[in-house]
Amino acid sequence: MTAKHLLAFDYGLRWIGCAVGQSLTGTASPLTALRAKDGIPRWEDIDALLREWKPDAVVVGLPLNMDGSLSDMSQRARKFGNRIHGRFGIAVYFADERLSSFEAKGALLEQGGNREFKDRGVDSLSAVLILESWFREQA
């Protein structure tokens, strides 16, 4: 079994959480969250991440409604992922991310901090949870 390296994004309007992981262990690590302006990232930041980590694919969290239906944000996240595929030619997968931000905030609060959720660490921790959940679903 060959290890696949992936990047994951937790799409947001002001911040986009980032994580990197590999399929062999099914684990991921947070990276620095990227700033976005009304959901639009600096594409050169995405390019830099792709060049640095050379992932086999990208996973983008899809914020579905609790009943599983698409929301405005899930449509924007899908558009974000499709743009990554179109601009960089890399495979993009989408993963249900319901409650990932809630879980990430809880984990950071348990660690004893709020401080703007540890300098936006909540977004990248959400990306970790999204990617690790995606790995489990693929197994």
Encode the chain (139 residues) as per-residue pLDDT tens digits.
688 999 999 999 999 999 999 999 999 999 999 999 999 999 999 999 999 999 999 999 998 887 888 889 999 999 999 999 999 999 999 998 865 554 545 554 455 554 444 445 778 888 999 999 999 999 8
Q: Where are the domains of the chain?
A: 5-138
Q: Report the pLDDT value the prediction gives residue 119, as an integer from 0 to 100.
A: 47
Find, among 56, 1, 50, the residue nearest to 24 by Cα.
Answer: 1
Q: Which of 82, 80, 42, 78 is nearest to 62 (CA)?
A: 78
Give alpha helix (H) positions in the chain. 43-53, 72-88, 100-110, 115-138
Rounded to whole angstroms, the Cα distance separating 106 from 115 reads 14
What's the predicted TM-score (pTM) here?
A: 0.85
Grouping H, G, I as helix, E, B as strand and the rest as coil, residue 37 is: strand
pLDDT, residue 87, reads: 98
Task: Select from 60, 62, 57 the least CA-distant residue to 34.
Answer: 60
The confidence score (pLDDT) of residue 112 equals 54
Candidates 3.40.1130.10, 3.30.420.140, 3.40.50.720, 3.30.70.1150; CATH matching 5-138: 3.30.420.140
Tell me what pLDDT residue 47 has: 98
